[in-house]
Structure 1
Amino acid sequence: MGDEEDFSSLPLTDRWVHKVWKVRKAAYEEAAQAFEKTPDEYDPAFRPFVQDPSLWKGAVADSNVAAQQEGMAALCAFLKFGGREGAVRSRQHTITSIVEKGLPSTRPAIKTNSLEALLLYIELDVPGPVIEEILPVLSNKVPKVVAAALAALTAIFHNYGCKTADPKPVLKFLPKVFGHADKNVRAEATNLTVEFYRWLRDAMKPMFWGELKPTQQNDLEQLFEKAKSEGAPKQERLLRSQQAAQAAAPAGGGDEDEEMADAPEDEDVGEIDAFDLAEPQDIISKVPKDFFENIASSKWKERKEACEALYAVVNVPRIKEGDFNEITRCLAKCMKDANIAVVTQAAQCIELLAKGLRKGFAKYRSTVMQPILERLKEKKQSVADALGLALDAVFLSTDLTENMEDITEFLKHKNPQVKEGTMKFLVRCLRTTKDVPSKQEIATMVECAKKLLAESSEALRSGGAEVLGTIMKIIGERAMNPHLEGLDDIRKNKIKEFYEAAEVKAKDKPKPPPPAARAPPPGPAKKGPVKKAPAGAKKPAGFGAAAPPAQTPTPAPAAAAPPRMGGLGNKMGVPKPGGAAPSGGLGGGIKAPQKRSAFAAPPSPRRAEPEPEPEPMDLDDPPSPEEQRPAPPRMGLGRGGLQPGGLAGRSLAKPVPMDYTPTPPMPPPPSGLSHIERAELEELRDANDRLLKQLEDARHDRSKLLSEIQELKNQNASLIEDHTRDVLSIKAKETQLVRARSDFEAAEQTNDRLRRELDRLKRALSHTEDQLRHANRARPGSPSSPHIGLGVMSPTHDGGIYNDNGYQQQSANRNRMSFASSMSEEKENGGDGMMGGFHQKVSPDPRYHQGGSGGSSGRGTPAGFRQPVEEARSSESLASMGFGGYGAERSSSRTGMRTGASRLQAPSSGTAGGMESWKRAAEVTSQLKARIEQMKAKQGLNRP
């Protein structure tokens, strides 16, 4: 095999996309090493990949696993050393490939570098764009890709937390992944949900909890209990911006450092509210159209139903702001309703509106507050609870200052129930407010509470003590003591009990005095050379003291002053800091004589003590008011004798009047930044922070609006689909209804026709029976008469008697009944007619009695069962007609039987037409009965 071709001479970008995987792998390794050796993010090694970020797409999704591993490592090095610009440019080309190709890889190195690359993308910028690129992968058809994406999201929120990364877009996908068919996907969804619970607690449940199965909810609840015991989570990785802020924090002032140090603790104390996670929903369009009509109805049920319909609409975590003036006015009017069910439901609607709008409900407070407080006179506990919850929700949308006027007014109400309810509402307000009330508000509340202490009701007296105890908890015992003067010990003890048991969120912390205002402790004078005061220190003001210069020179290092007058300087005192030394004489430090002068100030008891060494002045802090106050005039020895302020304090221009008051000099600005400059600097910082916050809010609002637009598009599509489905369903129902109506009308017509046919057949049957009856009466006693057949076919054979002379009819009525029963039996046995039945019963031949012979139609069992009876009856009939010996020995007299039968059946010339008419009549009757039975069977009248 020949030597391999050398590709090292090709440019790095060409080798990066080479068709040979080994060349690409070597290029990835070379780029990673080059990135690690760069001094900063502006090195030329990063330039090709910043200008063409699409190169990274092929590296992270390389078809060769070994090359892909090196490509992932090169990307991590690029992000780690390349800076923010490279990350922002390349993330849209790489994140999808990382999630789909890198995270599900079987090689641990690729999986680790893929996750690290995602975390570095977030660290260099913000988490939002990275999460937006990962979310579409949750709809992938490959289960292991979806599970890997969920695991990556769990790692992101675990490292950066839900306060840095917005969890709302991910929370919307949880119901979908919990319904996935793959168990690994559901397991990763469970891990992500537990991670959310560590940060959000129960605030996340309104977003997706109702869409989970009960078994999934139970499993998650068990895992949530374990997460509660782990304590509050903390952010493990910081963004580059957070790292920069943390690194710059020690360089600032002490107070700012303390605020930054306290900030994370304050944030960890409170939990994220469900209101912040939920998306605003437009409920104005969902309010029933007949709401205002029903709410003004004279029937209380309609008013209650209107409030219930509104309650179902406003029962959402967050409500989009709109015009709710008309709705709030209607609900406020319901507070005066005579029916307590309407009042309760309206109060619940107000509560949900206030909770859903939060600060947006403040403009409707004046509309509903007074009607609710007025309705507190209701004694039923359920109504009072609903009104109290509504008041609490309204207070959360406002503050104590806005509600103070209404509260103090209703604390003086004549109704004790209203007083008590207002007092309880005030206690709840004091417990939940986060702002310390002003001194005027505290004085107003204390005055109202003191009046409650003198009430006759025990509940009101205890309520007044509870109000005072809660106020004491907020402002402290020392600030509350002046308000409790004049109260007896019993009431004070009661207030003290409520003070110890009260729990409030706002506490008034007294501000410590500034460091410059604190007086140094007195101490003995130090021996040795006296240090000069710093130039920035203030000078004592005396009579005619000149104003300080506009600019203060830079303070020089202190030097030791030579002792004067043989060391008297140490024994006779040290000049005050900043004091001017006299130009001649003994100096300003010599004690003045004890003689009083008109210009002398009262002697100070500490004048004889040596003054302590001044503390170095803090140049960043402004002088305190005490420092700005002019110093009292000092006695000094000058040329003119004892004069106030010494020689330096005396004005030689003109005499000083007795009532002269020296003006305080302007404090000298510090050597660093002046107050104005510091104020301007602070204003610029605040403006910068506001602009950054506005920019971040604008970005957040833009992403939120885009998500709302997409959600509205989805809702519109689903509504159109539902509307189409409903229209088709309505049309199908209408078609079914039309068919059912036509079927019903056809059935009615058929029923009427069959009823008419039945009546006609009944009439025809009656007419036929009448004809038969007349025919029987017209032919009595004829031997060849068809009455012989009627007698033979009668099941009881009671219609007549057979003998050699003929047949004698006993009764026409019984003969008719015998004929009808014979015809019915002939139909059951499948006989051809009356004469066929007659031959079957008379003939002794066994073939006429078999089940399969004649007209029996296969019903051999009934015919065979009736054979003995019919033979016996036939024997008796034949014996009565003169066929001797047939009844005793049937087998030996067949010839005689045939002869008798032929004799009976031999028609004469006069009876041939009669027999044919009898046959036709029997056939017509049989057909009529068959048709009647068929109609009964069709109408369900024929029983089995």
Structure 2
Amino acid sequence: MADQEEDLSSLPLPDRFSHKNWKVRKQAYEDVAKQFAKSPDESDPCFRPFLNDPGLWKSAVSDSNVAAQQEAITSLCEFLKYGGRDGALRTRGVAISPMVEKCLSSTRPAIKQNSLEALLLYIELDTSGPVIEEVLPGLGNKVPKNVAATLNALTQIIHNYGCKIVDPKPILKALPKAFGAADKNVRAEATALAVELYRWLREAMKPMFWGDLKPTQQTDLEAQFEKVKAEGNPKQERLLRSQQEAAESGGGGGGEDGEEGEEEEADEPVEIDAFALAEPEDVLKKLAPNFHEQLASSKWKDRKEAVEGLYAIINVPRIKDGDFNEIIRGLAKCMKDANVAVVTQAAQCIDLLAKGLRQAFGKHRTTVMQPIMERLKEKKAAVADALGGALDSTFEATSLSDCLEDIFAFLVNKNPQVKEGTMKFLIRCLRTTRDVPAKPEIAQICEAGKKLLSESSPALRDGGAEILGTVMKIIGERAMTPNLEGLDDIRKNKIKEFFEAAEVKAKEKPKPVPKPAPAAAPKKVVGGKKPAAGVKKPAAAAAPPAEAKPAGSKLGLPKTGGLKAPQKRAVGASSGASSPRQSGPIMPEEDPLPPTPPAQPKAAASRGLTGRSLAKPAAAPARMPSESPPPSSGLTAIERAELEELRTANDRLIRHIDDLRQERSKFTSEIQELKNQNASLIEDHTRDVLSIKAKETQLVRARSDAEAAEQINDRLRRELERLKKALSRAEHLNASAGITSPTLDDAGIYRDSMAAPSARNRMSFASTMSEEKENGDAPYPRNKFSPELRYAGSTGSSGRGSPARGFRNLAQHDDGSDSTLTSARERPVSSLPQSGSNGAESWRRAAEVTSQLKARIEQMKAKQGFARP
């Protein structure tokens, strides 16, 4: 048995992980956990098999044996703890899903705890996004116990890392389904997760799922949320590996690092906005097709219905940016509406658009702000509140600098209601702005506030004092002092009261000059500016108290020592030594009096190395060190110089900002001009397109007319050919029968010299039937001996292309005599008896043919079943 165990332990690691015996697998899990704990670093060979084959962990965490599975989860935690980020990245795609499915809901507490620890380690080593993506499918499990365990894991992840590390959007989207589950344990875990999210998100989370909950669930959650509000702001309990490294690298900082840490902690309680959590929605697709027509209707009910419909569509946390120009212009026009209901609803729509678009709404500020301010004259509280909300949302989408121009314009309005509403809007802007206004803007605001102090209305006077007090809260009392000059004590006290009660979000914090920078700057200036260096060196050398006494004793030396001492000091200074007694710079430490003499070499260096030139500077340095304050006065001069430089730079920056603003206004005007030009070009283009389409329509119609004319010409050509063939055929028949060809007399009528009625009848019948077949004029089959073919005036032979009609046309063209035309219209010439020598015989034959035709007609009618009239 021992040999068998030795053989099993010598198997490769992949074979042991997939062995049939659970004890072998369990022992393998334990062995690798010990190896991971003993590894010196992440590059140890013990991690290599799992980096090359991450699928080993998939089979390990889903082990069918509970005891082996417990050891597998433990070894996975050790692997993540010591294997580093690379191991986590390679294994999380195969290990998290089976762990969520089979480990989080295990009956053994150790497995549940270690699997949750593994999830936290996966997040700690990298980021939370991929881990949450692998965990969320567990909410769709068919087993309620697994769903509850998944919800619990998400709660623990949020509790440890917070919503700044973990994105709450996908979790919030899945909450409504969890609240609608039939199992009470699932609903309880969903409630716990919602409460944990509320600790971080507060009211911003409600728009994401609140509407999908039942009223009872909303009531229960509200009760839980009230308890959370009293707990205060949450803090991240577990740091990412990157955060830990950053904390270790900057952990031993001084005051500045500590101040930065305090600022970061102060920023933590800021609530996450619902705008950041929500997905942008395209509301333009939901807009009614007749919205603009209704908004421009002359009936106030139609206008009210239009803005109410728009309000229902855009009442979402976040709106996708699009072409809202026409909608914004319509809403701005509604500000002048005579119906207050339309004005109120339109202002609420502007409020929602500004909140839903945020920064994208800034381009519409110039369109809506002035109409809203003009409507502030409305005295009804509901309308004033709606207008104020629209102004506040517009300001939040832009900045104070953008709105100040319009505010100053309406602060001097003649209407007291407009002036008061604008004043209140300015106060709200000053309270909520996060950017400290520039100095020129502060001066303009203070000037406007001073003017309000002299108004006759108490509300306006109090508003002016509140404006000045709020500005004082932003920039501080000291910076506000020049702006309060000329005011009496009563007004100053009033401003001070508002200053103490004001709450602002923007406070000007002067940045102190770092201490090392001024110390380094004077050392660099020593070579360039000698007077400052002469004062700076004694200040640095006089720091120890032992050197102060030599400086005091040195004061008498120039008076008794004559000019020799200054000469040696000058040489020592010129050679670069700090000792004034010895001319050589080799041993500067022997002279105990180094502080004061450097003032003399500067004069000597400036006038030369002669004895006379050195005597005069000797008296000056002797007097300068005789006074104790020169070092401090020198430092003050340096600080003043730096202060002047900073002021110059600040003025230069302010001028640059003004230039940028002018350029911006110029660019804005140019953009507006380009927009106008673009609009005119679009109109011209539309007009040209319409004209082109009209021309194309005319062209199509002309082509269709031409085609119809071609068809008519073809039909007439075919008819002419047919008539020619019929004529040639008739001539051929007449020739074969011995009848002379018909000739055209002076009246334009064909006459047959032989007067053969039968031949003439056959020719008339053949030509008429062929015409009717081709033109489709015959309503039913006709007998070739039909009497209708004998007369040109009958319906059967008076068609468009009949020979009789052609004969009539020829007669009309050839001769205009009425008698000829009448005879041609009455009957065909071929069927009439001709005058001549055999006229009686022709009439007889015509009568016979007529009688025969009548008989045949009767026979045909009898055969076809027609009743005889």
Corresponding residue for residue 24 of structure 1: 25
Corresponding residue for residue 114 of structure 1: 115
The structure with more radius of gyration? 1
Q: Summarize deviations over 1:202-235 as a string: whole Å, max 9, x none.
A: 1111111111111111111111111122221111
Deviation at 1:446, TM superposition (A): 0.8
Aligned 1:375-774 pairs, distance under 5 A: 375-515=375-515, 538=526, 541-542=529-530, 589=596, 607-609=625-627, 626=638
Q: Residue 607 of structure 1 aligns to a residue in which SS?
A: helix
Q: Give 5+ residue unaligned stretches, structure 1.
A: 521-533, 547-554, 615-622, 631-663, 665-944
Q: Residue 272 of structure 1 aligns to a residue in which SS?
A: coil
For residues 473 and 548 of structure 2, the distance between their equivalents in structure 1, rounded to whole angstroms, comes to: 59
Corresponding residue for residue 266 of structure 2: 265
Deviation at 1:612, TM superposition (A): 9.9
For residues 186 and 471 of structure 2, the distance between their equivalents in structure 1, rounded to whole angstroms, comes to: 54
Q: 1:440 to 1:2 in 2, by over 3 A?
A: closer
Corresponding residue for residue 38 of structure 1: 39
Aligned 1:912-931 pairs, distance under 5 A: none
Deviation at 1:571, TM superposition (A): 7.8
Q: Residue 482 of structure 1 aligns to a residue in which SS?
A: helix
For residues 355 and 619 of structure 2, the distance between their equivalents in structure 1, rounded to whole angstroms, comes to: 68
Q: Within the alignment, does 1:201 sit opposite 2:202 as a pair?
A: yes
What residue identity is the alignment partner of 2:456?
Answer: S
For residues 578 and 640 of structure 2, the distance between their equivalents in structure 1, rounded to whole angstroms, comes to: 17
Q: Summarize deviations over 1:819-857 as a string: whole Å, max 9, x none.
A: xxxxxxxxxxxxxxxxxxxxxxxxxxxxxxxxxxxxxxx
Is 441-450 or 1-10 further displaced after alignment? 1-10
In 1, are the aligned partners of 2:436 and 2:506 still within 8 Å (CA)? yes
Corresponding residue for residue 164 of structure 1: 165
Q: Within the alignment, does 1:353 sit opposite 2:353 as a pair?
A: yes
Deviation at 1:16, TM superposition (A): 1.1
Corresponding residue for residue 211 of structure 1: 212
Q: Residue 8 of structure 2 aligns to a residue in which SS?
A: coil
Aligned 1:219-258 pairs, distance under 5 A: 219-250=220-251, 255-258=256-259
In 2, are the aligned partners of 1:572 and 1:589 still within 8 Å (CA)? no
For residues 77 and 398 of structure 1, the distance between their equivalents in structure 2, rounded to whole angstroms, comes to: 52
Corresponding residue for residue 290 of structure 1: 290
Q: Summarize deviations over 1:737-762 as a string: whole Å, max 9, x none.
A: xxxxxxxxxxxxxxxxxxxxxxxxxx
Q: 1:625 to 1:400 in 2, by over 3 A?
A: farther
| TM-score of the pair, normalised by structure 1 | 0.59
Q: 1:471 to 1:604 in 2, by over 3 A?
A: farther
Q: Within the alignment, does 1:335 sit opposite 2:335 as a pair?
A: yes
In 2, are the aligned partners of 1:336 and 1:375 still within 8 Å (CA)? yes
Deviation at 1:627, TM superposition (A): 6.9
Q: Summarize deviations over 1:361-417 as a string: whole Å, max 9, x none.
A: 111111101111111111111111100000000000011001011111111111111
For residues 566 and 378 of structure 1, the distance between their equivalents in structure 2, rounded to whole angstroms, comes to: 80
Q: Summarize deviations over 1:412-452 as a string: whole Å, max 9, x none.
A: 11111111110000000000011111110010011111111
In 1, are the aligned partners of 2:525 and 2:532 still within 8 Å (CA)? no
In 1, are the aligned partners of 2:155 and 2:196 still within 8 Å (CA)? yes
For residues 25 and 36 of structure 2, the distance between their equivalents in structure 1, rounded to whole angstroms, comes to: 17
Q: Residue 511 of structure 2 aligns to a residue in which SS?
A: coil
Q: Summarize deviations over 1:536-588 as a string: whole Å, max 9, x none.
A: 78358449999xxxxxxxx99x9999999999559869999999555867988
In 1, are the aligned partners of 2:449 and 2:465 still within 8 Å (CA)? yes
Deviation at 1:91, TM superposition (A): 0.6
Q: Summarize deviations over 1:146-204 as a string: whole Å, max 9, x none.
A: 00000000000000011110111000111101111111111111111110111111111
Q: 1:452 to 1:412 in 2, by over 3 A?
A: same
Aligned 1:870-881 pairs, distance under 5 A: none
Aligned 1:13-162 pairs, distance under 5 A: 13-162=14-163
In 2, are the aligned partners of 1:517 and 1:626 still within 8 Å (CA)? no
Q: Summarize deviations over 1:258-291 as a string: whole Å, max 9, x none.
A: 22342122122x2111111111111111111111
In 1, are the aligned partners of 2:80 and 2:118 still within 8 Å (CA)? yes
For residues 298 and 551 of structure 2, the distance between their equivalents in structure 1, rounded to whole angstroms, comes to: 108
For residues 548 and 192 of structure 2, the distance between their equivalents in structure 1, rounded to whole angstroms, comes to: 81
Q: 1:271 to 1:599 in 2, by over 3 A?
A: same
For residues 134 and 551 of structure 2, the distance between their equivalents in structure 1, rounded to whole angstroms, comes to: 87
What residue identity is the alignment partner of 1:141?
Answer: K
In 2, are the aligned partners of 1:250 and 1:257 still within 8 Å (CA)? no
For residues 479 and 544 of structure 1, the distance between their equivalents in structure 2, rounded to whole angstroms, comes to: 31
For residues 547 and 423 of structure 2, the distance between their equivalents in structure 1, rounded to whole angstroms, comes to: 74
For residues 489 and 550 of structure 2, the distance between their equivalents in structure 1, rounded to whole angstroms, comes to: 67
For residues 230 and 533 of structure 2, the distance between their equivalents in structure 1, rounded to whole angstroms, comes to: 71
Q: Summarize deviations over 1:331-367 as a string: whole Å, max 9, x none.
A: 1111111111111110000000000111111111111
For residues 75 and 594 of structure 2, the distance between their equivalents in structure 1, rounded to whole angstroms, comes to: 79
Q: 1:447 to 1:607 in 2, by over 3 A?
A: same
Q: Residue 487 of structure 1 aligns to a residue in which SS?
A: coil
Q: Summarize deviations over 1:75-104 as a string: whole Å, max 9, x none.
A: 000000000111111111111111111111
Q: Summarize deviations over 1:81-139 as a string: whole Å, max 9, x none.
A: 00011111111111111111111111111111111101100100111111111111101
Q: Within the alignment, does 1:184 sit opposite 2:193 as a pair?
A: no
In 2, are the aligned partners of 1:539 and 1:579 still within 8 Å (CA)? no
Q: 1:571 to 1:40 in 2, by over 3 A?
A: farther
Q: Summarize deviations over 1:706-734 as a string: whole Å, max 9, x none.
A: xxxxxxxxxxxxxxxxxxxxxxxxxxxxx
Q: Residue 154 of structure 1 aligns to a residue in which SS?
A: helix
Deviation at 1:474, TM superposition (A): 1.0
Q: 1:205 to 1:625 in 2, by over 3 A?
A: farther
Aligned 1:838-849 pairs, distance under 5 A: none
Deviation at 1:601, TM superposition (A): 10
What residue identity is the alignment partner of 2:106?
Answer: S
Deviation at 1:519, TM superposition (A): 9.8
Q: 1:15 to 1:272 in 2, by over 3 A?
A: same
Q: Summarize deviations over 1:274-314 as a string: whole Å, max 9, x none.
A: 11111111111111111111111111110110000000011
For residues 63 and 298 of structure 1, the distance between their equivalents in structure 2, rounded to whole angstroms, comes to: 76
Q: Residue 250 of structure 1 aligns to a residue in which SS?
A: coil
| TM-score of the pair, normalised by structure 2 | 0.64
Deviation at 1:250, TM superposition (A): 3.3
Q: 1:496 to 1:603 in 2, by over 3 A?
A: farther
For residues 544 and 569 of structure 1, the distance between their equivalents in structure 2, rounded to whole angstroms, comes to: 21
Q: 1:600 to 1:407 in 2, by over 3 A?
A: farther
For residues 500 and 562 of structure 1, the distance between their equivalents in structure 2, rounded to whole angstroms, comes to: 51
Is 186-195 or 472-481 further displaced after alignment? 472-481
Percentage identity across aligned positions? 64
What residue identity is the alignment partner of 2:461?
Answer: R
What residue identity is the alignment partner of 2:638?
Answer: E
Q: Summarize deviations over 1:629-671 as a string: whole Å, max 9, x none.
A: 69xxxxxxxxxxxxxxxxxxxxxxxxxxxxxxxxx9xxxxxxx
In 1, are the aligned partners of 2:578 and 2:594 still within 8 Å (CA)? no
Deviation at 1:145, TM superposition (A): 0.4
In 2, are the aligned partners of 1:517 and 1:624 still within 8 Å (CA)? no
Aligned 1:300-311 pairs, distance under 5 A: 300-311=300-311
Q: 1:609 to 1:207 in 2, by over 3 A?
A: same
Q: Give 5+ residue unaligned stretches, structure 2.
A: 535-539, 559-565, 584-592, 604-612, 646-869
Q: 1:7 to 1:272 in 2, by over 3 A?
A: same
What residue identity is the alignment partner of 2:472?
Answer: M
